[in-house]
Amino acid sequence: MKVTIDKDLCIDCGVCEALVPEVFSINDEGFTEVILNPVPEELQDAVREAAEECATEAIIIEED
Ligand code: SF4
């Protein structure tokens, strides 16, 4: 699984970082980044949940 964030849609709300801090992180400039890609198997369900929880549908998942 690969995951990206659509920066035009993301509002840097922190929800995805709260759910999966191993994969999503708000950087020093306040922007949310993917810090682990591809996503390891054990975190994939959590990333799918984060994508569902993202209010702006900014998390784009590319399944293997
Ligand atoms: S949950 Fe969505 S809008 Fe919020 S920081 Fe993550 S990608 Fe951005």
Model confidence pLDDT, tens digit, residues 2-33 = 999 999 999 999 999 999 999 999 999 999 99
| pLDDT in the model for residue 27 | 96
The dihedrals phi and psi of 19, each to the nearest 5 degrees, come to -80, -45
Task: Work out the mean pLDDT of the chain and round it to a whole number.
Answer: 98
pLDDT-derived band at 35 (thresholds 50, 70, 90) equals very high
> Domain 2-62 is in which class?
alpha beta
Which atom of ligand 1 lies at the shortest distance from residue 59's CA?
7
Of all protein residues, the one whose alpha carbon is nearest to atom 6 of ligand 1 is 16
Q: How far apart are CA 46 and CA 49, in angstroms?
A: 5
Q: What is the whole-number distance in angstroms between the Cα of residue 16 and the centre of ligand 1? A: 6
User: What's the DSSP call for residue 28?
Assistant: T
Instruction: Tell me if residue 63 falls in helix, strand or coil.
Output: coil
Residue 41's pLDDT band (cuts 50, 70, 90)? very high
- d(C-alpha 13, C-alpha 64), whole Å: 27
Return the DSSP state at 34: E
Ligand 1 — pocket residues by CB below 6 A? Answer: 5, 10-16, 24, 32, 54, 56, 58-59
